[in-house]
Structure 1
């Protein structure tokens, strides 16, 4: 993780813009560590090449953090604090990150068409997915950090293309949606909860546009959570993983079991997801 690009995101044009700062890592980003349990970024040997750290901010507040792979054009994972009293509802627009096109550009997330007004002729999709990549495909724009686990501005802030992956529609609207709803009910019993949710990329399965591989279609979607009591002590934890197909179920597991599966499927060393393994 070499660069922390702050992700900016507009919900509607009349709302205040998002802003962010480019720093070297989550540790140097403003409030980025707030979304990781006890400020610990997962100890996981994710290849540093093609990854950027995004600390995503809206309405002068940061809402979650994302480790993004600019080659696969999907997130490795998003980290967030669960918020009770969330709810559904969807935004009308999807947004892209100007600084993933040029680091000297403004820090406000913009709709692609609006960004093109000031940068005519520039291609925006070299390092990120665009809305057109998902059009006329059989895949949903599947949220990693789900909007239903947030409220207010945080819920709006999840509607960015750097927070979605190509997700099988039956999985997205079926067993994974049910898992997210069940987890929401489970986490409302926590005084505070920290969540990680990510995708394991495929070796060679892509959304293809104009004969070019554009967005990697992940093999698996996974989730991990750490639930705390009123004193900030961990009281339970767990995780889940699902194959990104239309005939799949969500496998619930312990953090230890999930770590083993992530290591197996990514062929990279996963040391720990939460500080002290979300233990006392």
Structure 2
């Protein structure tokens, strides 16, 4: 019996430590860093006040990474690796990040409804958006990392409220949806791997308001950047897009340098590289 206990201790002692998914630095979690080309985390958004770095964990695995603005309660960006979808329906639940409520809580995203039921009297929405914020708001829960760019279970993991922003319904259901579909065709047709960043630029003072409280910032723009690799891991294509979050319903295509110039209008800090070596050979 003592031998068995000693063996268990040795096995546990040599297991890697279980990390929560709210981390100090993406570089601290190798499995999370894999969503960035060559492990290069963008400088863009790093200085955002109150930013939280989320390694999005679902079913005991990491599926993508999000830099989350806890003040505006929207993501700065989500970073992911494109995966060919295997179909499957839309997730019916909307998840929240427990560790944005209490750092000692579990590392997995949780259904916001049941997390609230399990913790009566605890307010979940101080540092993140809740499902009820979007109800009757007139805005879609617009995915940054789109569910259609993944198979199950990564597809399910995109249904976390830390990965969505208030998106104009016309844009979400038309031009932006078509743009995501065109990227699907590009990635499936030309890329062995595709690294993608999708972000939002917050408005100066446009919010979903509930009970006279500013709850979720309505971003002015959505943007996308991608880096496409061949089967030898060499960059072969890159680009991006940006759209006003209005009924204009139009996506402007950009080169990576053009997108960096676009983003530079909304920061006082250098934009820096979005991908390692600007996704160059």
1:153 matched to 2:153? The reply is yes
Question: 1:165-204 to 2 correspondence within 5 Å?
Answer: 165-188=165-188, 189-204=190-205
> CA offsets per residue over residues 217-240 of structure 1, 9 Å max, x none?
000000000000010000010000
Other-structure match for 1:70: 70
- 1:231 is aligned to 232
- Tell me if the contact between 2:31 and 2:62 (Cα under 8 Å) persists in the aligned partners: yes
Mean CA deviation greater in 164-173 or 86-95 = 86-95
The structure with more radius of gyration: 2
Counterpart for residue 108 of structure 1: 108
User: Counterpart of 2:93 in 1: which secondary structure?
Assistant: coil
> 1:43 and 1:53 mapped to 2: Cα distance?
13
Q: CA deviation at 1:85?
A: 3.4
Consecutive aligned runs of 4 or more in structure 1 exceeding 6 Å deviation: none
Judge which range, 143-152 or 113-122, deviates more. 113-122
> 1:200-228 CA distances to partner (integer Å, 9 max, x unpaired)?
00000000000010000000000000000
Structure 1 residue 114: Cα displacement: 1.6
2 CA distance for matches of 1:26 and 1:171? 31
SS at 2:137's partner residue?
coil
1:271 aligns with 2:252: no
Equivalent residue, structure 2, for 1:36: 36
Please give the secondary structure, in 1, of the residue aligned with 2:179: helix
1:85-104 paired onto structure 2 within 5 Å: 85-87=85-87, 89-104=89-104
TM-score, length basis structure 2: 0.90
Q: Secondary structure at the match of 1:35?
A: coil
2: CA distance between counterparts of 1:136 and 1:99? 27
Give distance in 2, aligned partners of 1:276 and 1:152.
32
Q: Which runs of 5+ in 2 are unaligned?
A: 1-17
- In proportion to residue count, which structure has more helix? 2
List runs of 5+ in structure 1 lacking aligned partners. Answer: 1-17
- Structure 2 residue aligned with 1:244: 245
* In 2: Cα distance, 1:28 partner to 1:208 partner: 36
Higher alpha-carbon deviation: 229-238 or 46-55: 46-55
TM-superposed CA distance for 1:66, in Å, is 0.3
1:181-212 per-residue CA deviation (whole Å, 9 max, x = no partner) reads 00110011201110000000000000000001
1:84/1:116 CA distance change after superposition, 3 Å: closer
**Is 2:57–2:109's contact at 8 Å kept on the other side of the alignment?**
no
Between Structure 1 and Structure 2, how many residues are aligned? 263
Alpha-carbon deviation of 1:49?
A: 2.1
Q: SS of 2:222's equivalent?
A: strand
CA distance in 2, matches of 1:113, 1:58: 16
- Whether 1:122 aligns to 2:161 is no
Superposition CA RMSD, Å: 1.6
Residues 85-129 of structure 1 show CA distances to partners (whole Å, capped at 9, x for unaligned) of 354631111011111011112223222332233321111100000
Larger deviation: 18-27 or 250-259?
18-27
- 1:248 is displaced (CA, Å) by 3.0
CA distance in 1: counterparts of 2:267 and 2:183, whole angstroms: 25
Matches within 5 A, 1:45-56: 46-56=46-56
